[in-house]
Amino acid sequence: NFKTGTLARWGFDDAWFEQRAPQTVRCSITGYGEDGPDAQLPGYDFILQAESGLMSICGMPDGGATKYGVAIVDLATGMMAANAVQAALIARFRTGRGQKVEVCLFDTAIALLANVGNSHLATGKEASRYGNGHPTIVPYTTFDCADGPIAIAVGNDNQFARLAQLLGQPEWVTDPRFARNADRVVNRQAIEERVAVATAHWKSEALITAMRADGIPCGRVNSVAQALANPHTLARHMVIMAQRADGQVVKSLASPMKMKDTPLQVRLTPPHLGEHTREVLIVEFGCTQAQVDEWMRKGVVA
């Protein structure tokens, strides 16, 4: 992430593009954007999660602010940039002119507040942490079964009625504290405690099977290893295997984009450590074989 003005200092400012390459679509990705009081600051995903408020809504209610498990702001900013460039290309088809596209980590992080941010703007109320729960839908969280946790997402009153029946608690539906979702939100702790007691007697796979048969959204809380070994993951070809020249097989995550006519393919495998050291130093930089041998002997290069 270059600081604002880096490209201009190299001579490629807006005027240069307007004069010499008016059809070019170019994209600027910075930490904080090209204006505003923080425009000159470098961008780091972790810091942006903190400053944007994202961190404040992640974690358990009785715990502290927590970062996401992946660099979500970095990843989302790249996606925003790709979408913006595509939109600019479509505009060029219509106008014949390119344009500058600006995306920054800060703006993306603010946009990722989504419904939570809009709720604050509409009501003025500060957002809270709900752990795995949902601020306006209950029960919508994780529950422990006898052999591990599952996620249950009851989206409406009909689904709740089916869940109550399945768990052997039909009286929940007529209890005024739980009959409607609005009531359950007010009495969140009471209903979640009751659901937790009921699910604790089930094996996770049996309960998931039963709930899915009744149209109740649910799923296992998988570890990364379990998710990558999931039959559906493999059926969707989300784990790819490529063979290096030495026969070693390398596993990697695949692209989620499935293109019928021009499918994505693995062209190159990740290199071994130092696989191209000699090639780069000798061919590209003009070093001698003896120099490279000496540097390798001393551990200067690998």
Q: In whole angstroms, how far apart are CA 249 and each of 234, 266, 270?
A: 16, 13, 11
CA 162 – CA 302 distance, rounded (Å):
62
Are residues 74 and 54 in contact, defined by beta-carbon separation less than 8 angstroms? no
- Phi, psi dihedrals of residue 276, rounded to the nearest 5°: -110, 15
Q: What angle do CA 146, 152, 158 make, to 5 degrees?
A: 125
Q: In whole angstroms, how far apart are CA 18 and each of 7, 33, 87?
A: 15, 21, 19
Locus of tokens 């970095």: 74
Nearest to 245 by CA among 212, 281, 271: 271
List 14, 35, 45, 74, catalytic entry: 74
Whether residue 74 lies in the annotated active site: yes
**Catalytic sites, residue numbers:** 74
